[in-house]
Structure 1
């Protein structure tokens, strides 16, 4: 006989058992404890009554209940409940499944060897789960087995109801001569019609009142299990040994006695096939257990995802599996009495991060099916391996957001730092963003400390935000499970501080890290302006741990940059005496642990942003170049131009005549109304989202 806890109605509990109920009506084993462990009783299912209770638990009993191993323990495949006398005082054990397991209707059976000794009172019984609200005896009590050794060999069953309680009249008894020296099966079968009591499957008492109402039949609601040994008391005490009017009639030579329980099992009527097991497993997990409803004379066929193999239990109601790396379905088919039943459990393989940074989503390929917009208008698309979101929010109080569902749950236990890279131009000046994590049970992070993308960096370049959830997953029943993160919620212009508006954001990736990075955050909002002594730069310092800044210059926005200055920490400005209107600048923070990514590009002509501008600059063709008096700009389809302006190297703007329907055409025809001197000029193109500068060489040919 295997001795393992079993529960097919709940996930995660786990193992095959021998034996089935004798009554065919109760043919499915739904719960059991086989007491196979060593030491303390399983706290998943059992808790303790402690102390003396009210007036000796209402029965003038002598013992004090403890949770000590001396009184309650598992050993050798048995549960031992032992009453012990020390210094004239008795201790014992009383364990119950209250709040952890109960049931309505079915068969409950114990295989037990009872405690000997005059004055002792072992019991195996049930009590109504609603006792905390309606009290006793309104909750009902079913005593499956009570034994008092002052009446050797007599085993009884009893029912306590509002119509008969305390010294109840609803009693049946039988003789079991070796009850304290041999194991016997004590059982009750409980239906909506009656309650029948058995010893070794022999019926000896039936309770079936003609009128079933609240007084006679409180047995239409769930009951939980109790096991205990009482000492003395109204029922256990031997009158001839009592003193001073107390119920203390116990054999004076008795110093200890024990009840041994081999198992306790609950059966119910099979109605549908159940399948239990973990919904989430680690890749290549070993010894994963799945269980189906256990019926006598049934056959079982299992199907697993690719890469998973059955280690043991094939063709049985319980299998042990070595998992592979893929998510998939665990399917069981059960054949019973000529019928076939099928059940499927979806099992997902978790993502286990590794390395110094673990990528959750890079948006290539674009995960359209995993993105769900809520409470706002969100136009989502892939843009250069990033998620681009054009949004329109009218009701911030509705918490507008995009929900991203991971393909597999993520285990953040050792990687508590969540990071994302986002850019925006924030033209509306309303953009506000926040990220929340949701676990597989739907619990969400978020309290006073949340991952707000603040201060928002809106210089049009990607900025990487980090947040450490290490101590912010919560605690207790509301705790978010860091080992099963299944969704990411991106809130946009949300809450009572949010603003209505429309704008665009780009999200480059979601990642997790084992710890916050020690390198500084990048500088941002670099701006350049002509000064009397060259070009003056200014920028925003977003770090608290930088040791300094390096300044770089180039003559091309997306060409090689050369370092021109190294500044001490907390500088946010620099003047380049060699700078011109055609100079481009970047700033980089650094410390002893490394360097930050580069800032946005600053130029006298304005601010240039990175990847999208580089791509766009390559797509815009200016021809002819060199030019005399007319040229054209070929633009990518869909690009909306707001302005085209021309400047000389001295910064003076040159008037232009432009022919173009900006919203419809992709070619702009440009004419110089007056001849220009030969030389280099800068054509500044302002699109809806970008500012670009193209070089134009004017060359008048004198023939």
Structure 2
């Protein structure tokens, strides 16, 4: 029996200890604060205003009218000043709140304040439930952290208003603070699921903990927002001996102004997990970036940054200011607190900022395997010479079959809203339809009535460059695509309600960005040659509305030396070569005042030359380094005879070169431009005895 009693006593003691431990909460992480370090108006991100006289003096028969004027509410010298003023017999004052901007459930709130003096005044630091707009008062709950009326000098009180006790509430505690109006003190409330405790300078003076917690006694389970104000007169503030005409207007007649100063407002919660916030995407060399982690008392902080990034201030603090470099990388913080080590890491990407007349986003050589994903259909992605080959089968167009290309770093398209896509297809299924969408870092996608559809689709088996200006699709404000953080390009294939099931193949040569749609004409396409009674008739499709004319070229070999044989006016679509033969090859080039378009496909009486035959050879020729600073090299098969190496800029202007060959098991050609080239995309044309093919080269004079 004695043993049983001892065990029962031990069990009770243990339960009491566990209950006490459960009810003791340490609020040691600063989750929000305003230190009022600015001058003038309050930070609108956090603070709003109650204005006017309210309902019958805010329900308390008060006399003041609340304004948002600097005379009544302002930041000054690192403090919030709320000032009540009497002018022409009328009182104005200020009431500020974080409603809809900041609220919290459970934690510790601190106001460091010097209270407003004057008989008849009523300064308050308090909180209301965010549910006041749906449940009303007092069902929303009210926590008065501090109320003071100078008609009762030195008496500071806390109060709770609930459906079970409101208005002249019974849930009140008070303490004496003799210098409340002449010195700063910290007025705090600690709110847990079990109770609400009230402090002055960390001295506990009142606890609210009803035995039964229900909607009537404990409406304190949801977010509360902060309020600070000075009321004048009213049910609580008015001095009865000075009242007249049955009004709550008992105010010292000599009083014309009074002010409350607040040094800071801080909200703490229980530390559970280290947080780390800051910009996830930054510009190269961005200045004064702020990264924040959990603010813990008596903790030490160690920050680690990527190469090129430097700490400006706050190295051993929860908030660090950083000047960024040019590379993406990880920001890491390590925190030592109460003998424990915590760490948190976030990846920060440095956005790409385009430059030059044309900026190459992706050349698809080599094949960017990790940046490509597919969905909605069966896709086979492979490396073709200088291009990405996409072989697909679509059975359900409504599933939005697509290839998604994710950029290595987000790109800022603000000044470069035009996307150029070089695509080729034979469209053997006669069902190919393509569309390109942009997606920003938040996942928002361009669309609407204007979309980048590759139409009319050019399916002559040669690469055709499509241009589209996304500027009208970006827009501004919430829900719009952010052009400063474009992260993905989505290629939709045979998609949507009107899409068609089928299979086919297409090739992607490159994605580029431009400041504007080029003024050069689009290339002519579908060039075909047929024998006619008077020679060889050449027909083509005109894909431009801005050409001034066409040039027709002729050669004896498909990729031999072409000679111009005709210059024709705009909108021409046919030409007959009186001297043409079955063995001749032809291509067409549009032109205008800005220059020449790309050449068309090559045509002969035997059919259209698709370029497939040179694919095997093109694979064996390598341009390196790429990007290059200026000089570059060609690695060639030993038996390949090169007739010429030529280099063209984005405007199709040829660049003078010095080329030297070194023969061996694998031949090498050193290519040296005769002058330093501007950074940008260039085309290296390599002519052999039987063919001509092109390699892309990116020149970057200042490589990172």
TM-score, normalisation: structure 1: 0.81
1:401-412 aligned within 5 A: 401-412=402-413
Closer/same/farther in 2, CA of residues 455 and 103 from structure 1, 3 Å limit: same
Q: What SS does the corresponding residue of 1:165 show, helix, strand or coil? A: coil
Q: Deviations over 1:121-140 (max 9, x none)?
A: 22211111222222221111
Closer/same/farther in 2, CA of residues 423 and 155 from structure 1, 3 Å limit: same
Closer/same/farther in 2, CA of residues 617 and 322 from structure 1, 3 Å limit: closer
Q: CA deviation at 1:183?
A: 1.6
Q: CA deviation at 1:498?
A: 0.8
Q: Tell me which residue corresponds to 1:208.
A: 209
Contact 2:114 2:262 in 1 (8 A): yes
Q: Tell me which residue corresponds to 2:153.
A: 152
Closer/same/farther in 2, CA of residues 82 and 456 from structure 1, 3 Å limit: farther
Q: CA deviation at 1:574?
A: 2.4
Q: What SS does the corresponding residue of 2:271 show, helix, strand or coil? A: coil
Closer/same/farther in 2, CA of residues 212 and 546 from structure 1, 3 Å limit: same
Q: What SS does the corresponding residue of 1:58 show, helix, strand or coil? A: helix
5+ residue gaps, structure 2: 1-23, 620-689, 692-704
Q: Deviations over 1:95-149 (max 9, x none)?
A: 2222222111111001112233333322211111222222221111111112233
Q: CA deviation at 1:495?
A: 0.3
Contact 1:153 1:176 in 2 (8 A): yes
Closer/same/farther in 2, CA of residues 514 and 87 from structure 1, 3 Å limit: farther
Q: CA deviation at 1:393?
A: 0.4
- Rounded Cα–Cα distance in structure 1 between residues aligned with 2:499 and 2:271: 54
Q: Deviations over 1:474-508 (max 9, x none)?
A: 44331222222222211111100110010011111
Q: CA deviation at 1:449?
A: 1.6
Q: What SS does the corresponding residue of 1:43 show, helix, strand or coil? A: coil
Q: What SS does the corresponding residue of 2:472 show, helix, strand or coil? A: coil
> For structure 1, which segment, 560-569 or 261-270, has the greater mean C-alpha deviation from structure 2 after superposition?
560-569
Contact 1:589 1:595 in 2 (8 A): yes
- Rounded Cα–Cα distance in structure 2 between residues aligned with 1:589 and 1:195: 81
1:49-88 aligned within 5 A: 49-88=50-89
Alignment: residue pair count: 598
Q: Tell me which residue corresponds to 1:663.
A: none
Q: What SS does the corresponding residue of 1:472 show, helix, strand or coil? A: helix
Q: Tell me which residue corresponds to 1:638.
A: none
Q: CA deviation at 1:519?
A: 2.1
Q: Tell me which residue corresponds to 1:614.
A: 614
Q: CA deviation at 1:593?
A: 2.3
- Rounded Cα–Cα distance in structure 2 between residues aligned with 1:357 and 1:539: 28
- Rounded Cα–Cα distance in structure 1 between residues aligned with 2:85 and 2:531: 94
- Rounded Cα–Cα distance in structure 1 between residues aligned with 2:464 and 2:155: 80
Closer/same/farther in 2, CA of residues 87 and 574 from structure 1, 3 Å limit: farther
Contact 2:385 2:615 in 1 (8 A): no
Q: Deviations over 1:24-64 (max 9, x none)?
A: 81111111111112232222222233333333333333333
Q: CA deviation at 1:175?
A: 2.6
Q: Tell me which residue corresponds to 2:571.
A: 570
Q: Deviations over 1:5-37 (max 9, x none)?
A: xxxxxxxxxxxxxxxxxx981111111111112
Q: CA deviation at 1:288?
A: 2.3
Q: Tell me which residue corresponds to 1:284.
A: 285
1:462-541 aligned within 5 A: 462-541=463-542
Q: Tell me which residue corresponds to 1:460.
A: 461
- Rounded Cα–Cα distance in structure 2 between residues aligned with 1:542 and 1:73: 64
Q: Deviations over 1:366-385 (max 9, x none)?
A: 11011111010000011112
- Rounded Cα–Cα distance in structure 1 between residues aligned with 2:552 and 2:92: 79
- Rounded Cα–Cα distance in structure 2 between residues aligned with 1:104 and 1:353: 46
Closer/same/farther in 2, CA of residues 161 and 428 from structure 1, 3 Å limit: same
Closer/same/farther in 2, CA of residues 457 and 265 from structure 1, 3 Å limit: same
Contact 1:534 1:576 in 2 (8 A): yes
Q: Tell me which residue corresponds to 2:117.
A: 116
Contact 1:558 1:614 in 2 (8 A): no
Q: Tell me which residue corresponds to 1:320.
A: 321
Contact 2:25 2:192 in 1 (8 A): no
Q: Tell me which residue corresponds to 2:395.
A: 394
- Rounded Cα–Cα distance in structure 2 between residues aligned with 1:518 and 1:140: 67
- Rounded Cα–Cα distance in structure 2 between residues aligned with 1:618 and 1:412: 33
Contact 1:445 1:474 in 2 (8 A): no
1:538-617 aligned within 5 A: 538-610=539-611, 612-615=612-615
- Rounded Cα–Cα distance in structure 1 between residues aligned with 2:205 and 2:510: 71
1:154-173 aligned within 5 A: 154-173=155-174
Contact 1:140 1:218 in 2 (8 A): yes
- Rounded Cα–Cα distance in structure 1 between residues aligned with 2:115 and 2:578: 99
1:252-263 aligned within 5 A: 252-263=253-264
Contact 2:306 2:329 in 1 (8 A): yes
- Rounded Cα–Cα distance in structure 1 between residues aligned with 2:472 and 2:255: 54
Contact 2:156 2:176 in 1 (8 A): yes
Q: Tell me which residue corresponds to 1:382.
A: 383
Q: Tell me which residue corresponds to 1:623.
A: none
1:304-319 aligned within 5 A: 304-319=305-320
> For structure 1, which segment, 54-63 or 181-190, has the greater mean C-alpha deviation from structure 2 after superposition?
54-63
TM-score, normalisation: structure 2: 0.80
Q: CA deviation at 1:616?
A: 5.6
Is 1:187 aligned to residue 185 of structure 2?
Answer: no
Closer/same/farther in 2, CA of residues 119 and 536 from structure 1, 3 Å limit: farther
Q: Tell me which residue corresponds to 1:435.
A: 436
Contact 1:529 1:604 in 2 (8 A): yes
- Rounded Cα–Cα distance in structure 1 between residues aligned with 2:39 and 2:148: 27
Q: Deviations over 1:409-458 (max 9, x none)?
A: 21222222222111111110111111112222222221222222222111
- Rounded Cα–Cα distance in structure 2 between residues aligned with 1:374 and 1:72: 57
- Rounded Cα–Cα distance in structure 2 between residues aligned with 1:268 and 1:158: 22
- Rounded Cα–Cα distance in structure 2 between residues aligned with 1:242 and 1:470: 67
> For structure 1, which segment, 363-372 or 518-527, has the greater mean C-alpha deviation from structure 2 after superposition?
518-527
Q: What SS does the corresponding residue of 1:476 show, helix, strand or coil? A: coil
- Rounded Cα–Cα distance in structure 2 between residues aligned with 1:169 and 1:286: 55
- Rounded Cα–Cα distance in structure 1 between residues aligned with 2:243 and 2:570: 89
> For structure 1, which segment, 361-370 or 374-383, has the greater mean C-alpha deviation from structure 2 after superposition?
361-370
- Rounded Cα–Cα distance in structure 2 between residues aligned with 1:70 and 1:544: 64
Closer/same/farther in 2, CA of residues 417 and 54 from structure 1, 3 Å limit: farther
- Rounded Cα–Cα distance in structure 2 between residues aligned with 1:75 and 1:604: 86
Q: What SS does the corresponding residue of 2:415 show, helix, strand or coil? A: coil
- Rounded Cα–Cα distance in structure 1 between residues aligned with 2:618 and 2:369: 28
Closer/same/farther in 2, CA of residues 188 and 364 from structure 1, 3 Å limit: same
- Rounded Cα–Cα distance in structure 2 between residues aligned with 1:544 and 1:92: 68
Q: Tell me which residue corresponds to 1:417.
A: 418
- Rounded Cα–Cα distance in structure 2 between residues aligned with 1:241 and 1:607: 104
Closer/same/farther in 2, CA of residues 292 and 568 from structure 1, 3 Å limit: same
Contact 2:314 2:320 in 1 (8 A): yes
Q: CA deviation at 1:340?
A: 1.6
Q: CA deviation at 1:617?
A: 8.6
- Rounded Cα–Cα distance in structure 2 between residues aligned with 1:479 and 1:56: 43
Q: Tell me which residue corresponds to 1:358.
A: 359
Q: Tell me which residue corresponds to 2:20.
A: none
Q: CA deviation at 1:70?
A: 3.2
- Rounded Cα–Cα distance in structure 2 between residues aligned with 1:578 and 1:239: 117
- Rounded Cα–Cα distance in structure 2 between residues aligned with 1:82 and 1:516: 59
What value does the CA root-mean-square deviation take over the aligned residues? 2.3
